[in-house]
Amino acid sequence: MPGLPFRSRRGRAAGAVPDEETRAHVAGAASAAAAEVEPVPAVVADRTAAAFFDVDNTMMMGASLFWFARGLASRKYLTSRDLKRFVWQQAKFRIAGSESAGDMLTIRESALAFVTGREVAEIVQAGEEIYDELMADRIWSGTRNLAQQHLDAGQRVWLVTATPVELARIIAHRLGLTGALGTVSEVVDGCYTGRLVGELMHGEAKAEAVRALAEREGLDLSRCTAYSDSANDLPMLTLTGTAVAVNPDTELRAVARSRGWTIRDFRTGRKAARIGVPTVAAAALTGGVVGGAVALRRRNAWPF
């Protein structure tokens, strides 16, 4: 694939596996390239400032992919056994407190397998329906209001998430946001190949995506704001001039307090306890319950 520093495992010589930093860079660049850009808001535009919102537990209750996977399972795209296996794999890694490159590779490849050969349009249509059925009512009104404040100030607002970019774009469009940065999968002739471009949109890859988008759109990152619930997003949170911890996990709450960041918590105690259950499924499914969009315009270009 022209412009990418490496191909899939099947297309590489032994020993040519890219390192984590390279994969994050490629994933970030791919996500920024796939990001839609809506017209400038009707209010007086602030062209150099923007806001970046994580999705799971920040913009919506629980993990978007948990609900998406439930919707796909009801449509017979995957079995309940598949879903349980993904949940168990991720739960194991969460409890252990770390995810090795080998672990993530196993999850990614097993999750990507079932969408291989499926049409992007088919998955996107299912995503539209599933959002309305299972996700719309789980958007945090408090976080949605924070995003609207940026829009009202003439700033653009992007979601930045490990969720596949197609699903991330659906959520962004439904909320009236500018667009989304998400995990990008390779697409040839309108169908998923079963390979990611770079890596999951996670950790450092999110920062790479924001950095690449900022360069493309002329944003001043010192004037931008990032929102997240998780310490995994510290690379993105520390990249922008302002960071806000929304419904933060224990580690992020401690970091936010030590650095004087604003903390916003829209959960009740009961909701906070429930949220962790669907989140367990998130990273396991992220690698390919659906892929992100990298359809190749005339075989080798971006579709967006």
**Helix (H/G/I), strand (E/B), else coil: 5:** coil
Catalytic hit among 46, 54, 152, 233 = 54
Q: Are 177 and 157 in contact (CB under 8 A)?
A: yes
Q: Are 78 and 264 in contact (CB under 8 A)?
A: no
Task: Indicate if 54 belongs to the active site.
Answer: yes
Structure tokens at 183: 């995990």
- For tokens 């500018």, the residue is 178
Q: Are 247 and 267 in contact (CB under 8 A)?
A: yes
Burial class (CB in 10 A: 0-12, 13-18, 19+), 85: middle
Q: CA-to-CA distance for 132 and 249, rounded, in angstroms?
A: 28
Catalytic hit among 56, 82, 229, 233 = 56
Q: How many other CB atoms are found less than 10 A from the CB of residue 276?
A: 13
Structure tokens at 124: 């996107």
Q: CA-to-CA distance for 87 and 55, rounded, in angstroms?
A: 19
Task: Indicate if 132 belongs to the active site.
Answer: no
Q: Which residues are catalytic?
A: 54, 56
